[in-house]
Structure 1
């Protein structure tokens, strides 16, 4: 596996190839990330991963400085998974000057759910993803980028970014990997103590129960069912931001006419000091 840090070195390393398959990460890799790399490998003629903790998507009170950095373990995992090129830019490599040009996704998609509770988050995500795409795919006729479905809203925003900018990149979604008890794998699971880790599975259980309740009753009962789910989780000591049912097409609340439409249940809640997210298509 070749490790490069500058954009110039990345482009030199990728010059012989026509169809990169790319996985963007912030490091602290788990089996979910590695599954994306393995899934990407047969889709291109070179497999590229990036590790970059993107300051632009962290609010001042969030965990940018304490976000886990596990460089040596990450490199070992990527090499074992068959990654060909690792792009690990320093902040001055990717942002050599203040990033005043930014990508602002539409408010109706970016300011709901995660965007409501983390203002500016998707501007930071969209901006760094666009920049990484330009680093990896510039001059290439086509390419593939893998994104995990656990970050459901993020994946939708990136798909629309690629569509609206007419980028020659296919976005492929990787299914959420879960621990044996059902907890979605996440880098932030490492923040949980032993007691919190045992409790953490209740978020996915709450989403399953909410999804089953919505599917078995009138769609008009949705708001009350969501409120009940929030209260039940709060009673266990969680601080839920949202547990909600949305249309898969646009993440807006379903209406009565959407009873047969594809839906997704999404949730975000804080357990102790750790904020977890998950979703379930129903």
Structure 2
């Protein structure tokens, strides 16, 4: 596996892939890799000849009181995992390459960012859209893969690619979970043993609500019950438990179209998010 940190070396490597006629996949990450990321790499290998992974902890998608400084960074361990998984190239740009002196461009996607984390974390998705657009321009992949755990992020990227006529396929990969249902996340390492035990209530509450709604139950009642389960388990604050259109992410009060159930809540100092399809 090649590891590159500057744009010239990246472009040489990508040009070599293209000269050899290879289809290229990109898996953007912020590092602190786990089995969920490895599922993205495996899916990418099935859809392309060469897989490029990027690791960049993007300061523009963190708010002023969020965990940018504390976010786990495990470059050597991450590189070893990617190489073992068959990744062809690791793109490791420093901040000064991504945002050099004088950088002043921002990409903002409206509509799908108006609710959920778009409301709870102002500016977050501008940072996501901006860094992903830069990664797309740098790597110029044929396909890029993102996890459905960050479903709103996936919707933002799909909207951006459509609106800007970007010729890159976007593929979502199902959320990877622990045996007790907790979605894999780099932030799970923040959880104490007691918090980890309580955290399993999040997927359980969403699952019960999703089943109730799919069976024709009252949406507001199901959401209220899920919030109660989270509060009883010690989640505080609860940012949202909500039902939204699976495509537009418009909020729903009745289940009359493909939908997604979303939740975000804090247990101790760790903010967890999750979502489930309602079918």
TM value normalised by structure 1? 0.93
Q: Does 1:121 align with 2:117?
A: no
The residue matched to 1:275 in structure 2 has which SS? strand
CA distance in 1, matches of 2:12, 2:4: 10
* Range with bigger deviation, 192-201 or 94-103: 94-103
CA distance in 2, matches of 1:254, 1:245: 6
CA distance in 1, matches of 2:99, 2:164: 21
Structure 1 residues 87-113: Cα deviation after superposition (integer angstroms, max 9, x where no partner)? 00010111112432110001x311210
CA distance in 2, matches of 1:61, 1:156: 25
Q: Does 1:223 align with 2:227?
A: no
Structure 1 residues 185-237: Cα deviation after superposition (integer angstroms, max 9, x where no partner)? 0000000011111111110001001111212235xx32233123212311221
Q: Is the Cα–Cα contact under 8 Å of residues 26 and 44 in structure 2 kept in the other structure?
A: yes
Q: Which of 91, 95, 98 is 1:94 aligned to?
A: 98
Unaligned runs of 5+ in 1: none
CA distance in 2, matches of 1:21, 1:186: 22
Give the aligned partner of residue 9 of structure 1. 9
Give the aligned partner of residue 273 of structure 2. 277
Give the aligned partner of residue 153 of structure 1. 152
Give the aligned partner of residue 26 of structure 1. 30
Structure 1 residues 33-88: Cα deviation after superposition (integer angstroms, max 9, x where no partner)? 01101110132232100000000000011010110001111000000000000000
Deviation at residue 177 of structure 1 after TM alignment:
0.6
Q: Which of 62, 68, 73 is 1:69 aligned to?
A: 73
Q: Is the Cα–Cα contact under 8 Å of residues 25 and 144 in structure 2 kept in the other structure?
A: yes
Q: Equivalent residues in 2 for 1:1-282 (5 A)?
A: 1-18=1-18, 19-106=23-110, 108-137=111-140, 143-218=142-217, 221-239=218-236, 240-254=238-252, 256=254, 258-259=255-256, 261-282=257-278
Deviation at residue 279 of structure 1 after TM alignment:
0.7
CA distance in 2, matches of 1:98, 1:230: 45
CA distance in 2, matches of 1:4, 1:13: 9
CA distance in 2, matches of 1:250, 1:186: 25
Q: Is the Cα–Cα contact under 8 Å of residues 268 and 276 in structure 1 kept in the other structure?
A: yes
Unaligned runs of 5+ in 2: none
Root mean square deviation of aligned Cα = 1.3
The count of corresponding residues between Structure 1 and Structure 2 is 273
